[in-house]
Amino acid sequence: DTAVSQTPKYLVTQMGNDKSIKCEQNLGHDTMYWYKQDSKKFLKIMFSYNNKELIINETVPNRFSPKSPDKAHLNLHINSLELGDSAVYFCASSLSGGYYEQYFGPGTRLTVT
Amino acid sequence: LAKTTQPISMDSYEGQEVNITCSHNNIATNDYITWYQQFPSQGPRFIIQGYKTKVTNEVASLFIPADRKSSTLSLPRVSLSDTAVYYCLVVLPTGNQFYFGTGTSLTVIP
């Protein structure tokens, strides 16, 4: 069974569109994350979220919003897509506390044209 | 937020031991040091984590000096399948904030 899954794997869309990426984990973790990896392979955290708290990286534009229907899912919604949003987006999960290892999904490659 | 500095790239021949050093001068008292491995087109994968001295698992060893301002990931007898990017990060105990640096791209040569 896949521990952390993401859909879609590839997403090609035009500027100005709104899109969502879905993430699901079956590990029983209580904290989930979204990361962005740019073309230079720099991996940057965007959000971390558990039942109690959403922590937003202050550099993330408010066009990005995480939505969690339940503990096992954390979707990423992006409004008004821009060319600079093109990247690979990774979802991850862990137990809360910060010391625990994170399990990453396979990534979603977003291309904005 | 403690940032890390690593060499951008390293090359090694198969069968050799590889040591990748990470600098984290601003590490806080309660921070842990964690290493991840990333293969192309995959998400990062946890390798090892430690607080001080030495930690060893079936994959790697992690050496941390007393001042904890640096750490060294040691991969014994690397193979071609160890070619990947290795990230060192300092884990904060609160806030779930994780900083992945630029990573070290390791290429294992036959």
Q: Provide CB contacts within 8 A for A71, sequence distance 6+.
A: A29, A30, A51
Chain B contact set for A97 (CB, 8 A): 93
Q: How confident is the model at residue A81 (pLDDT cuts 50, 70, 90)?
A: very high
Q: What gap in Å lies between CA B21 and CA B42, rounded to an integer? A: 23
Q: What gap in Å lies between CA A91 and CA B96, rounded to an integer? A: 14
Hey, are the CB atoms on A101 and B43 less than 8 Å from each other? no
Hey, are the CB atoms on A101 and B96 less than 8 Å from each other? no
Hey, are the CB atoms on B94 and A98 less than 8 Å from each other? yes
A50 versus B50: the higher-pLDDT residue is: B50
Q: How confident is the model at residue B95 (pLDDT cuts 50, 70, 90)?
A: low
Predicted local distance difference test score (pLDDT) of residue B1: 55
Q: How confident is the model at residue B47 (pLDDT cuts 50, 70, 90)?
A: very high
Q: What gap in Å lies between CA A100 and CA A33, rounded to an integer? A: 13
B96 versus B35: the higher-pLDDT residue is: B35
pLDDT average, residue stretch B68-88: 96
pLDDT average, residue stretch A15-31: 95
Hey, are the CB atoms on A106 and B99 less than 8 Å from each other? no
**Residue B66 pLDDT greater than 80, yes or no:** yes
**Residue B49: left (phi > 0), alpha (psi -120 to 50), or beta?**
beta
**Residue B33 pLDDT greater than 80, yes or no:** yes
- Please report the number of interchain residue pairs, chain A to chain B, with beta-carbon separation below 8 angstroms: 63
Predicted local distance difference test score (pLDDT) of residue A95: 87
Predicted local distance difference test score (pLDDT) of residue A25: 96
Phi, psi at residue A72, to the nearest 5°? -90, -5
Nearest chain A residue to B37 by CA: give it.
Answer: A104
**Which among B98, B99, B102 is the top mutation candidate for probing chain A, defined by the most A β-carbons within 10 Å of its own β-carbon?**
B98
Chain A contact set for B92 (CB, 8 A): 98
- Of all residues in chain B, what percent carry a pLDDT higher than 90? 71
B107 touches A at CB < 8 Å: no
The mean of the pLDDT values for chain A is 91
B102/chain A closest Cα distance in angstroms: 5
Predicted local distance difference test score (pLDDT) of residue B93: 59
**Residue A42 pLDDT greater than 70, yes or no:** yes
